[in-house]
Structure formats: structure tokens, C-alpha cells
Amino acid sequence: MSFVSSKIAQSCTKIALILLVSQTAMAWEVDFSRRQVEFNRVKNEDRLPASIQEDQSASILSKVFESVEPTQDIVIMNTDKGFVPDTVRLKKGSNYRIHVVNVNGKEKNVSFVLDAFSEHHNTVFGEQKTFYVTPKTDGIFSYQCPETAVQGKFIIYSDAGSADRKPASN
């Protein structure tokens, strides 16, 4: 009797495995009807990075022959007491080379995050990280170090308003 019951148990096990495998295979079907076609296109223009030009419809020749201003160097130091300088004024449309230096003796390996320009860098004690920025949008944009919770800000201004400025005292 045990031989017959072992054969029945083997048959039942085989049938159960076949049913289980066939059900698992059907679960792996993929529905492509709702996929997103354009992942990189941002629909809301307010969410674009501050370094992307507002009008990118210029021809390639105009980009080649447009005058290029010299790049201005800016050094931002991450110290024990925060960023030095903690406020940086940048002119809209100018070219800048930003040097970030970690001189924080307490935190020797920290991050520098400038989300508005899509710049995220690891700064090690005594070393500098360099990146380029060409601001295209007016506004105030913060940079920060998440590990030490210090913040600074970039103030982007356009040159058009500077001609209308008047002295604060008369």
C-alpha cells in the first residue's frame, strides 16, 4: 500500500508544480499601454534648472559666433561656522567657475548641493571641487551642506534693472 500511496503523492506533487509554474509564468505579463514616452521633457517650465536657457531655439551658427564673456572665478569655503561667503551675487547670462573647498576640521567628508543648477559634489577636507555655472533665470537659489545643516544662497540678478537704480539716500 505504501508504494501506491507514494506514486499518488508523486503524481499530485507534479500536477501541483505544473499548475504553480503556469500561474507564475502568467504573472510576468507586462502592460506597455500606459508607459511614459518622453521621460526627459519637463512639462512645467518653472521646474527647469536655473542654468537652462529660456529660449533654446537659436541656430547653431549663432551659438558658435556669439560673444563669450570671460569666466569669473568664485571660491566658496565650507568652514566649521558655515559657508564663506554665505551669499554670492551672480549676473544673469555671465559665466562663472565655482570652486568649493572644504576647510571644515570637524567634518572632513561632506556634500555640496546646489539643486537649482543640478550640481551635487562630495567635498573632502583640503581638496577643491570645480564646476561651471551660467545662470539664465533671475532669483534666489540656495546651496547647502546636508551633513552640517549650513546653507548659503546665490542671488541671480539681471543687468536691465541696474540702470534704473537710485541711491538709497538723497
Q: What is the reported pLDDT for 55?
A: 52
Judging by beta carbons within 10 Å of its beta carbon (0-12, 13-18, 19+), is residue 110 exposed, middle or buried?
A: buried
Q: Answer yes or no: are the C-beta atoms of 22 and 89 closer than 8 Å.
A: no
Q: What is the reported pLDDT for 48?
A: 58
For residues 61 and 12, give the distance between their C-alpha atoms in angstroms, rounded to a whole number. 75
Q: What is the reported pLDDT for 154?
A: 92
Q: What is the reported pLDDT for 158?
A: 87
For residues 50 and 151, give the distance between their C-alpha atoms in angstroms, rounded to a whole number. 18
Q: What is the reported pLDDT for 7?
A: 80
Q: What is the reported pLDDT for 16?
A: 72
Instruction: Look at residues 146, 151, 139 and name the one whose alpha carbon lies nearest to residue 123.
Output: 146
Could you state, in chain order, the average pLDDT of each consecutive group of 10 residues for the chain (170 residues)?
A: 75 75 58 58 58 55 61 90 90 90 87 88 89 90 89 87 62
Q: Answer yes or no: are the C-beta atoms of 121 and 101 closer than 8 Å.
A: no
Q: What is the reported pLDDT for 155?
A: 92
Q: Answer yes or no: are the C-beta atoms of 158 and 138 closer than 8 Å.
A: yes
Q: In the Cβ-directed half-sphere of 153, how many Cα atoms lie within 13 Å?
A: 7
Q: What is the reported pLDDT for 15?
A: 81
